A and B are shown apart, each in its own frame.
Chain A
Amino acid sequence: MHKDYSSEGLLAFLREATLAGRMAPALARSRRAAARVLFAELTEGEAADLRQLSIDALKSRLLNIQGDGLRREVVELYAERLQGALDDYFRFVEAPDSFVSKAVPQAASPRDKQSTKTREERALETVRLSAPGQRPDVIPIPLNKDRVVYLHGIPADLTPKEARKISRVVEALADDAEVDK
């Protein structure tokens, strides 16, 4: 039996899933909307066989082409929804009779203001919030309690030879009097 893995097949599956009672209407609707937006940048090969589709590559294509109209965080959300749709669709194509839609874990929703937090939760929040302020291209090296040296501009593809060269420069800056003691 011919198995249809095309983008048209997925959209038809999402359209009929609600009528057949295979999926909640809101879920099917949101997945279809996500698929419609993301499928705008499918190649012919991907459209014919969705198993070839790399969602990460599709996301980057969309952000490059429609960066002005489609926001990064919305593309991420749509990609999650499409991934869920693809998982369900592939399982449906493989075994239509035994298909049951998988529940998707929802992102953490905003909590009530009155809800209390443990000390650990608060500490974790503080750690997470202080992280974005630190520049990723500056590497702190603590020498002792009061002395921290910062390395800046270290390339990502630094070779051991280059690292030794840097270390020799740093060694040349050291005070020889300390060694004699």
Chain B
Amino acid sequence: MNRWLFMLPLVVFGVGGLGLYALFVSQADDASFRENLLPELIGFCLEGFFLVGLFTFVQQLRDYYHRREQWLSLRSVLRDFLSHLNLAFLAPDAEPASTSDLESQPLIVHQLMELLSDAELDVETLVSLKRVAISTLPLARDLINIAAQLSTRHMRCWIAIVASIDSLAEADTREQAELPLNELLVRLTEFDSLKL
């Protein structure tokens, strides 16, 4: 359902209230509040405007948090990939990124993409990433329906991510591993950029 449709009652009550108020002011005199239905109608419009507005706001907020939770569920599946990459590029004696940052900060994915374009991962990290891909693949596939609940674009993007994980799980050479890994990060960037 289009979220602008929620705004329609607000507009009706708002415009109606303002129109009635303008009408009331235009013919106001000393006896305006007696035997006159206009003030009552204006009050009704004000009540409607605030109540509908409040309920719409609460509903939208709850909807947003629910969608955000679903998004975080999907994002947390890919945490181990980002974690291994983060440690692979970690400077000596530097602190690794926090778990919550890895799960929710798109900026980290951008940084990892830049680092990956300039440098080559050591074989141990590639093996770890392949292991993560093998263990994550069934779960990532199961979560396609969660992505579908967010939007069609989220679902398409998630299916592409699953395909990258699948390719990484099948990789037997460095080239076969690096290509899907890059694709995974690019698709994850796209996934992050989609509006909730």
Q: Does residue B5 face the partner (Cβ distance < 8 Å to A)?
A: no
CB-CB nearest in chain A for B173: A126
8 Å CB contacts to B: which residues of A84-124? 106-113, 115, 122, 124
Interface size on A, residues (CB 8 A): 31
Flag if A110 contacts B172 (CB, 8 Å): no
Interface size on B, residues (CB 8 A): 38
Task: Determine how close the nearest CB of chain B comes to the CB of A75; give it in whole angstroms.
Answer: 10
Task: Determine how close the nearest CB of chain B comes to the CB of A1; give it in whole angstroms.
Answer: 32
Q: Which of B93, B120, B130 contacts A129 (CB 8 A)?
A: B130
Task: Determine how close the nearest CB of chain B comes to the CB of A103; give it in whole angstroms.
Answer: 11
A-B contact count (CB 8 A): 85
Within 8 Å CB of A74, what residues of B? Answer: 83, 87, 96
Within 8 Å CB of A131, what residues of B? Answer: 127
Task: Determine how close the nearest CB of chain B comes to the CB of A129; give it in whole angstroms.
Answer: 6
Flag if B122 contacts A110 (CB, 8 Å): yes
Q: A74-B87, A111-B119 in contact; A125/B173 too (CB < 8 A)?
A: yes
Task: Determine how close the nearest CB of chain A comes to the CB of B176; give it in whole angstroms.
Answer: 8
Flag if B121 contacts A110 (CB, 8 Å): yes
Contact with A along B62-88 (1 / 0, CB 8 A): 000000000000000001100110011
8 Å CB contacts to A: which residues of B88-146? 88-90, 92-96, 99, 115, 117-128, 130-131, 134
Flag if A77 contacts B120 (CB, 8 Å): no
Q: A126-B173, A133-B134 in contact; A29/B127 too (CB < 8 A)?
A: no
Q: Does residue B174 face the partner (Cβ distance < 8 Å to A)?
A: yes
Q: Does residue B171 face the partner (Cβ distance < 8 Å to A)?
A: yes
Flag if A108 contacts B93 (CB, 8 Å): no
Within 8 Å CB of B93, what residues of A? Answer: 24, 26-27, 29-30
CB-CB nearest in chain A for B85: A110
Flag if B119 contacts A129 (CB, 8 Å): no
8 Å CB contacts to B: which residues of A127-147? 128-133
Complex formed: what's the CA distance from A33 to B122 in Å? Answer: 26
Q: Does residue B169 face the partner (Cβ distance < 8 Å to A)?
A: yes
Complex formed: what's the CA distance from A18 to B124 in Å? Answer: 33
Within 8 Å CB of A44, what residues of B? Answer: none
Task: Determine how close the nearest CB of chain B comes to the CB of A84; give it in whole angstroms.
Answer: 10
Q: A30-B95, A77-B96, A130-B172 in contact; A71/B83 too (CB < 8 A)?
A: yes
Contact surface of B with A, Cβ cutoff 8 Å:
79-80, 83-84, 87-90, 92-96, 99, 115, 117-128, 130-131, 134, 169-174, 176-177
**In the complex, given contacts A26-B93, A29-B93, A110-B115, what are 11 additional A-B residue pairs having Cβ atoms less than 8 angstroms apart?**
A71-B80, A74-B87, A110-B125, A111-B120, A124-B123, A128-B127, A129-B130, A132-B127, A132-B134, A133-B134, A133-B169
Please list 17 pairs of residues, one from A and one from B, whose beta carbons are closer than 8 Å in the complex, sorted by A's number.
Answer: A24-B93, A70-B99, A71-B80, A74-B83, A77-B96, A108-B122, A108-B124, A110-B115, A110-B119, A112-B119, A113-B119, A125-B126, A125-B174, A129-B127, A130-B172, A133-B134, A133-B170
